[in-house]
A = this chain, B = another copy of it.
């Protein structure tokens, strides 16, 4: 079984809306923060991926289920698991939780592309890093 990467974050006023809860689109921002920290966890970041591999990640598809609402001052954890690394595509399942209870579930597919939008192969070091950190399920490595 693979391990999730975990990012903890606090809900601030900027994240909430007049319904008194976190604005729905904001969970995609939380998920993106977690993906950025996932890169850092395997020893790279956006600038290095561009400098060393000539690519950036672009979101291609997201499926989001909003189950329960988070509120101001909540402490949330984004659990990120790598579900797929094939060709130019990176699949992730991101589970945003409060006190261990799932609030929002995001399945996201990213493409690794050049600045002029051509698909690039995922850097081998990245896939290896995911495997070494056990973020990858054994069947997809």
Contacts and interface: CB of A to CB of B under 8 A. Distances in A.
A71 interface: yes
A128 interface: no
Interface of A: 10, 12-14, 16-21, 23-26, 28-29, 32-33, 36-37, 45-47, 56, 58-66, 69, 71-73
A64 B66 contact: no
* Identical chains bound together, number: 4
A43 to B, nearest CB: 14
Contacts of A10: 33, 36-37
Contacts of A66: 58-62
A62 B59 CA distance: 14
A64 B62 contact: yes
A47 B72 contact: yes
Name the residue in A25, A33, A45 with the highest tally of chain B Cβ atoms < 10 Å from its Cβ.
A25
Contacts of A26: 25
B14 A32 contact: yes
Nearest to A71: B18
20 contacts: A10-B36, A12-B36, A13-B32, A14-B25, A16-B17, A17-B17, A18-B20, A18-B71, A19-B56, A20-B20, A24-B28, A24-B32, A25-B25, A36-B73, A46-B72, A58-B66, A60-B65, A60-B66, A62-B66, A63-B63
